[in-house]
Structure 1
Amino acid sequence: MQKKKVVIPLLLMLLSAGVAGFWWQSDQQEIDSTTLQLYGNVDIREAQLAFNGSDHIAEILVQEGDRVTRGQLLGRLQTELLEAQLAEAEATLTAQEQVVAKLEAGSRPEEIRKGQAELNAALARAKSTRSSYQRIARLLDKELVSPEDVENAQSLAEAAAAQVEVARETLALLKAGPRKEEIAVARAELAARQAGLALVRQRLNNANLYAPSDGIIRNRILEPGDMASPQTPVLTLAYIDPVWVRAYLPEPALGKVPLGVKATIHTDSYPDKSYSGWIGYISPSAEFTPKSVQTPELRTRLVYSVKIHVCNPQGELRLGMPVSVTIPLGQKPSDTTVNQCGE
């Protein structure tokens, strides 16, 4: 009897614990069926910055650890030679612009009036020599002049008539202005000078190094006086907002997480804070679970690499930081976020 008294309460306790465990497991399954927990690290995103020109570095304006903004000037090359080339290009362009303007304007009124005066003078000379020739020719019948005098007078009259034609054509050219082919050649030369000036200005701009995005300077590789080139990195820039979290999605959950759905990120460094993000990339091919990744699934299961874009306005998420990612399941395509922070 004593044993029965001991066994019955023990059975009741076990039964109660089983019921409680059943309800706890049911609750956990319900939670697990609505969310997906992933683990990963803040991915390192950086760029090797180099000058787009080749020369000695004049100055580097940032230090390692400095926070920079998009478009900020980071460094300069020596530009004495480029500035001299710029001045030369500007001068030759100005000269060619004047040549084109001169050709397009045509002859000046003074030049046309001068041509008209020369034509009038030629006409007067032609009239005078023609009259002289006619008078001398009449005197030949009276044998008052020699045949040679008549020939000389005739030659002078013909030469004067030819000069009239020359003066007339010269005046016509002055009124017509330069040939269109000459203007076209001058305009083409002007375009070449403009392109040359733009090229020098671009080379001068390439002597400056600008930040392509907001970020933090991780490494300062070269110093003033070093020779820079497009193939030689000068600075290393780490992108900080948004950052990427690289995690691995178990194969059974692949169909439950469409591209673009929302995600919440937590870190051990700031346990009371959460960060908003979205799924920005899902690998098209599967791979085995890396040893460094912790998932509740078996490590032998296949996973898909995913990138979660996370807004990091305060810069609290550091590169390489381990994080946990919570993804609510059942999100519809209409519930996806715009893939930009602050929107």
Structure 2
Amino acid sequence: MTPRLKIIIPIVVIALAGAAGAWWWTSHRGDDDVLTLQGNVEVRQVNLGFKVSGRIAALNVDEGARVEAGDKLASLDAVYFEDNLRQMRAQRDQAAANLAKMIAGNRPQEIAQAEALVSEREAASANAKVSLDRATQLLKSAAGTQKTYDDAAALNRQTTAQLASANEALRLMKAGFREEDIDLARAQLADKDAALRIAERQRIDADLLAPTAGVVLSRVRELGAIVNAGETVFVLSLTTPVWVRSYVSEQELGRIKPGMAVELHSDTTQIKPLKGTVGFISTTAEFTPKTVETRELRTALVYRIRVVTDDPDNVLRQGMPMTIIAHPDAATKPAAGIPSAEAK
């Protein structure tokens, strides 16, 4: 080997080693800036049922149907609710009319009738007094009998009492109803108002509405079935927003924070990457006991996290595997259009 080669070979080896070191440093430094987690689209579902009992008259959706918030999913036979509603309205109107009558008091014609009765009783009382005076004079002169006097005295007492009763009745007519009676009528009206509102609410509850956007997973009951209040009719899978569940090790726990923006990738190449936000990090470890003695077991602890995202193209499915890519060194702020952790 020539002296020249002896000089060139070490220089080439040193250069190659430097390049390899630089490549290793660059590649591993880039990995430290990226946190990759594996997760699945979380299954979220709700059992839907009527708030009232009845017979199912209509089922408007089937399994697999996509619904929006407020869509009518099913209806009960409304005839019983409508009959009850008409009955409650009639009872409410009756109570309102009774209260109005009590507040208005007696009609002028009724008062005039009571006054006429008083005049009639006054005339009868005056005539009875005259008859008693005549019977008294006749008895004193021995021209009349004791029986005639007794009959005249009894008639006088009777007509006097009738006159007093007519006068009291007239005063009651003019005074109107008692405040206690008016308060009672007002309370009865309030009771009928409450009963009417309950009947109206029951009629509204005869329609089963979707509480939020989602997909119908199963239809539990069929048309014509009699269901009780709260009995499951549909099972709805919630799709908005989409939750992705994943787990982060204790070693990486400090690198992820609520509100951090992440990217979501699916194994299906046709699905575009989605933007998401870390919405929840569990405060307790999972899969291992709470009391851990060795350092090896402590580093094996994992914590559940939730990533919130939107699915505008409706491509995500319950349980679908997802890859979560986070940049811990990037600024912690929600991705555009994704709800923040506080909002959820």
Query: What band does the TM-score fall into relative to the shorter chain?
Result: 0.7 to 0.9
Give distance in 2, aligned partners of 1:271 and 1:2.
Answer: 60
Match of 1:83 in 2: 82
Deviates more, 1:12-21 or 1:237-246: 12-21
Aligned-pair CA distance for 1:87? 2.8
Match of 1:173 in 2: 172
Aligned-pair CA distance for 1:285? 1.5
Q: Which runs of 5+ in 1 are unaligned?
A: 290-297
Match of 2:291 in 1: none
Give distance in 2, aligned partners of 1:48 and 1:75.
Answer: 14
Is 1:74 paired with 2:59?
no
Change beyond 3 A, Cα 1:21–1:286: farther
Give distance in 1, aligned partners of 2:16 and 2:229.
Answer: 71
TM-score (norm 2): 0.82
Is 1:43 paired with 2:70?
no
Give distance in 2, aligned partners of 1:14 and 1:283.
Answer: 51
Match of 2:316 in 1: 317
1:263–1:276: 8 Å Cα contact kept in structure 2?
A: yes
User: 4+ runs of 1 displaced by more than 6 Å?
Assistant: none
Match of 1:261 in 2: 260
Is 1:99 paired with 2:91?
no
Is 1:249 paired with 2:248?
yes
Letter in 2 for 1:319: Q
Q: Secondary structure, in 3 states, of the residue corresponding to 1:59?
A: strand
Q: CA RMSD in A?
A: 3.2
Match of 2:23 in 1: 24
CA deviations on 1:208-245 (whole Å, 9 max, x unpaired) are 21111011223233321334334543222222221011
Give distance in 1, aligned partners of 2:49 and 2:129.
Answer: 83
Give distance in 2, aligned partners of 1:7 and 1:159.
Answer: 153
1:241–1:313: 8 Å Cα contact kept in structure 2?
A: no
Q: Secondary structure, in 3 states, of the residue corresponding to 2:232?
A: coil
1:72–1:211: 8 Å Cα contact kept in structure 2?
A: yes
Is 1:58 paired with 2:61?
no
The number of residues matched between the two structures is 332
Give distance in 2, aligned partners of 1:188 and 1:48.
Answer: 39
Letter in 1 for 2:316: L
Letter in 2 for 1:310: T
Change beyond 3 A, Cα 1:147–1:287: closer
Letter in 2 for 1:306: I
Aligned-pair CA distance for 1:2? 6.4
CA deviations on 1:98-150 (whole Å, 9 max, x unpaired) are 33333333222211111111112222222232234334434544444334433
Q: Which runs of 5+ in 2 are unaligned?
A: 289-296
Give distance in 1, aligned partners of 2:305 and 2:70.
Answer: 30
Q: Secondary structure, in 3 states, of the residue corresponding to 1:318?
A: coil
Aligned-pair CA distance for 1:327? 2.2
Match of 1:15 in 2: 14
Give distance in 2, aligned partners of 1:52 and 1:34.
Answer: 52
Deviates more, 1:212-221 or 1:193-202: 193-202
Matches within 5 A, 1:265-276: 265-270=264-269, 273-276=272-275
2:309–2:338: 8 Å Cα contact kept in structure 1?
A: no
Aligned-pair CA distance for 1:206? 2.8
Q: What percentage of aligned pairs have identical amino acids?
A: 31
Give distance in 2, aligned partners of 1:222 and 1:148.
Answer: 90
Change beyond 3 A, Cα 1:21–1:115: farther
Give distance in 1, aligned partners of 2:214 and 2:182.
Answer: 53
Aligned-pair CA distance for 1:174? 1.4
Aligned-pair CA distance for 1:336? 5.2
Q: Secondary structure, in 3 states, of the residue corresponding to 1:284?
A: strand
1:242–1:312: 8 Å Cα contact kept in structure 2?
A: yes
Match of 1:294 in 2: none
CA deviations on 1:232-280 (whole Å, 9 max, x unpaired) are 4322222222101111112122223222222222234357833222111
Q: Secondary structure, in 3 states, of the residue corresponding to 2:277?
A: strand
Matches within 5 A, 1:1-343: 1=1, 5=5, 9=9, 11-230=10-229, 232-270=231-269, 273-288=272-287, 301-330=300-329, 335=333, 340=339
Aligned-pair CA distance for 1:97? 2.8
Letter in 2 for 1:287: E
Change beyond 3 A, Cα 1:228–1:18: farther
Letter in 2 for 1:21: A
Give distance in 1, aligned partners of 2:141 and 2:233.
Answer: 105
